[in-house]
Amino acid sequence: MQPFEDEQEAAQSEKVFASQWHIVALAVLSALFCISGIVMTFLSEQATARNLILISLGILAINAGFQWQQGLKARALNHLYSAMIVVLLMMSYHMH
């Protein structure tokens, strides 16, 4: 699910991730919130799960901005695309 080719950014992304610790930390934090949201879904805590996933998406969007600023434009666009898909799925699920 990556419509934007980011293979040419691989070498640059390694350098960015090595020097910009906040980008890696935000990615880990976003993943932890997302995993927590998924666990809460299985525990039938839908409101909490939705909030955790939305926090995860917010962190992901902020991180995409940092990546864009560091020149990792395709990677940032892929993250924003993924976030948009998740939001659309959540909206679709909520309407049913």
What's the rounded Cα separation, in Å, for the pair 88 and 79?
A: 14
Please state, rounded to an integer, the average pLDDT across all residues of the chain.
92
The single residue listed with the structure tokens 């864009």 is 68
Q: How many CB atoms lie within 10 A of CB 76?
A: 22
What's the rounded Cα separation, in Å, for the pair 3 and 30?
A: 21
pLDDT of residue 87 exceeding 70: yes
Provide the pLDDT confidence category of residue 95 given band limits of 50, 70 and 90: low
pLDDT of residue 96 exceeding 70: no
Calculate the CA 54 to chain-centre distance.
10
Question: For residue 93, what pLDDT is reported?
Answer: 77
| Residue range 46-81, pLDDT digits in tens | 899 999 999 999 999 999 999 999 999 999 999 999
